[in-house]
Amino acid sequence: MSASPLPPTAPAYVLASGRDFSPGASGATKGGASPLASAGAVKKQKEEADTKRKQDTETKAAKATPKKESWDKYAQKLRDRIVAMIADGHPPRFNYSAMKTDVDIMSLNGSHAMLKMSGDGATIDAELFTKLEPSDALALSRAMLRRDSPEDHALVAFFARCVGDFTLADKQLVEAGVAAEEVKAAFAAP
């Protein structure tokens, strides 16, 4: 006895399920595999994908570790760029992770910075460069980016690599010109 096909008025999810609803099929999927076997295969595929994703993340994290002397060099370039912007009357504004708000750098003296909060205008003295977070360095370098400056693009690319944003880093390296090779060489080999 052959089963009649499902009526075209059956709900779309029933039609798309791939199940054989004919009498005696007991809910098997097309091709004879049971739903439990299919679920097991899906679970295995998910586990394999998770393992690969973890390995890829670990590989990228290793690539994002700059050499100590390179970090110091690019942090100094960042300081120099901040000082230049302040001298030009354009204090850089960025979202400072420690304050969780936008701040303007009003002055910079060594590792200390006078920060002005964007919301209430309050000012604080912060040791910005004592423990500079890569995410803050990236936010700062992006805030100061001049589109026609290969050096600025190199600065953004360096800090983007430090935080693992390889898509942004690669885009900036294209604009960095000859400075791109210096950025690439600034990272420890994986």
Residue 1: its pLDDT value, please? Answer: 47
Q: In terms of Cα–Cα distance, which of 155, 146, 156, 154 is closest to 177? A: 154
Distance separating alpha carbons of residues 18 and 5, to the nearest angstrom: 12
Q: Is the dihedral of CA 81, 113, 138, 62 positive or negative?
A: positive
| Strand pairing category for 123-126 and 101-109 | unpaired
Q: What is the pLDDT of residue 5?
A: 60
Residue that is written with structure tokens 């420690």 in the block: 98
Range of lowest pLDDT (132-136, 149-153, 186-190):
186-190
pLDDT for 59 equals 46
pTM: 0.66
| C-alpha to C-alpha distance for 94 and 187, rounded to whole angstroms | 25
Average pLDDT, the chain: 81
Q: What is the mean pLDDT of residues 166-173?
A: 96
Q: Average pLDDT, stretch 109-138?
A: 90
Q: Which residue type is seen at 4?
A: S
Torsion of CA 95, 97, 116, 84, to 10 degrees: -60
